[in-house]
Chains A and B, each alone.
Chain A
Amino acid sequence: GQNIDQPTEMTATEGAIVQINCTYQTSGFNGLFWYQQHAGEAPTFLSYNVLDGLEEKGRFSSFLSRSKGYSYLLLKELQMKDSASYLCAVRAMNTGFQKLVFGTGTRLLVSP
């Protein structure tokens, strides 16, 4: 089966940088996703990694190491609106193409 771990909660201040880690154990790894979910809203796609390395998209970057079963989401120049839950999700080929296995999410609180 799959197992995904991420911290339950993190706090940071406006303008700072925060790194949210995600570790996973799975066979047939075929991609890792990060989603952002504001309270009471649907998750929205942030990033996708399938090869080792860093993917940068504006203030958000995501890193993957397949050999270590490890990913992180890096948020720079934090803004109040970044307060949300961040969900790490893994797709494994042996679970079917569309099935994503999600971690329980990391709630990020950005304070002034």
Chain B
Amino acid sequence: KAGVTQTPRYLIKTRGQQVTLSCSPISGHRSVSWYQQTPGQGLQFLFEYFSETQRNKGNFPGRFSGRQFSNSRSEMNVSTLELGDSALYLCASSRSPGTGRPPNEQFFGPGTRLTVL
């Protein structure tokens, strides 16, 4: 069974640009969560999607947005990039909430490393 895939793996942008990252969950998983990982802050939750609906959102500015498609694939978009947006962006997928043990076992993708110059 293929794992979570993220594209692109590496990305270099300049301040003010916008970027779109893609995540394909494990087949059969309908929940996708996004996290930002930086050395100083660790992993921080961005948002979660389930059945094409945003179910939960972290404390990030409106420049960060996302969506989920009917096939459960998800994208996140960051507009007007800032230097501080340089980070590893991780996507995690899981089955429908409440199933399995642990009920929230998330499988992470390899991440997209974004560098903003």
Given A97-B98, A98-B97, is A103 in contact with B42 using a C-beta cutoff of 8 Å?
Answer: yes
Give the complex CA separation of A42 and B40 in angstroms: 17
Give the complex CA separation of A43 and B105 in angstroms: 12
**Which of B50-58, B69-77, B78-86 contacts its partner?**
B50-58
Give the complex CA separation of A103 and B40 in angstroms: 11
Q: Does A66 touch B at the CB level, under 8 Å?
A: no
Give the complex CA separation of A104 and B35 in angstroms: 13
Q: Does B64 touch A at the CB level, under 8 Å?
A: no
CB distance from B95 to the nearest CB of A (A): 11
CB distance from B44 to the nearest CB of A (A): 7
Size of the A side of the interface (Cβ < 8 Å), in residues, is 24
CB distance from A80 to the nearest CB of B (A): 22
Give how many A-B residue pairs fall within 8 Å (CB-CB). Answer: 70
Give the complex CA separation of A100 and B102 in angstroms: 13
Q: Is the CB of B108 within 8 A of A31?
A: no
Given A42-B110, A42-B111, is A102 in contact with B43 using a C-beta cutoff of 8 Å?
Answer: yes
Q: Is the CB of B33 within 8 A of A99?
A: yes
Give the complex CA separation of A95 and B103 in angstroms: 15
Of A95, A99, A102, A104, most buried by chain B (CB within 10 Å of CB) is A99
Give the complex CA separation of A91 and B109 in angstroms: 20
Size of the B side of the interface (Cβ < 8 Å), in residues, is 30
Q: Does A48 touch B at the CB level, under 8 Å?
A: yes
Partner of B55, one of A87, A98, A103, A105: A98
Q: Is the CB of A98 within 8 A of B94?
A: yes
Q: List 20 A-B contacts (CB under 8 A).
A: A31-B103, A33-B102, A33-B104, A42-B109, A43-B43, A50-B102, A87-B42, A87-B43, A97-B97, A97-B104, A98-B31, A98-B50, A98-B55, A98-B104, A98-B106, A99-B33, A100-B43, A100-B45, A102-B44, A102-B45
**Which 9 pairs between the two chains have the least Cβ-Cβ distance?**
A96-B56, A104-B42, A48-B102, A42-B108, A102-B43, A97-B97, A98-B48, A99-B56, A43-B108
Other than the given A97-B103, A98-B50, A104-B42, 8 more pairs (CB < 8 A) read: A31-B104, A42-B90, A42-B110, A98-B33, A99-B45, A99-B48, A102-B43, A105-B42
